[in-house]
Amino acid sequence: MYEHIAEAFVRVLNAASVAERVCASTGDYCQSIDAAGADMLLSFTDARAILRLTNEGLHLRVEARDFITFHGIRTLLLGRLFAIVVFESEAVEWRPVGNASCASDNIGE
């Protein structure tokens, strides 16, 4: 089970295209990338990221066993998103899930 779990939502237009571009640009860092319905699952060693397409944007979820991997995957995803999409001063706020730990750093504030 993963000790560090957090979720964030990013409002983007054409979420499917953005998710495909994020997955394509992170492929060198992942063990595998799979699609399941509205979800894109990026598997890493001892971690995973889930990108869920919604009508309003992308719902991101990162799960990892250790904090450094957890933070690294979050940074990787946001870096790729910021390279693909222009954000209008909207913060990306990561929220811990359940009893999992999550750093409270919010990007973009």
Taking 70 as the threshold, does the pLDDT of residue 103 lie above it?
A: no
Q: Mind listing the pLDDT tens digit for each residue in 7-63?
A: 999 999 899 999 999 999 999 999 999 999 999 999 999 999 999 999 999 999 999
4 backbone dihedrals φ, ψ, rounded to 5° = -110, 115
The conformation of residue 28, written as its DSSP 8-state character, comes to: G
Residue 109 pLDDT? 38
Q: Mind listing the pLDDT tens digit for each residue in 51-100?
A: 999 999 999 999 999 999 999 999 999 999 999 988 765 678 899 997 65
Taking 50 as the threshold, does the pLDDT of residue 106 lie above it?
A: no
Residue with tokens 């870096």: 79
CA distance readout (Å), 20 to 50, 53, 77: 12, 10, 12
What global pTM score does this model have? 0.86
Alpha helix stretches (DSSP H) within 48-96? 67-84
Query: What is the C-alpha separation between 27 and 1, in angstroms, rounded?
Result: 23
- Asked: is 4-96 a CATH 3.30.310.50 domain? The reply is yes
Closest CA to 10 of 64, 74, 91: 91
Domain locations along the chain? 4-96
Query: What is the C-alpha separation between 70 and 77, in angstroms, rounded?
Result: 11
Residue 1 pLDDT? 84
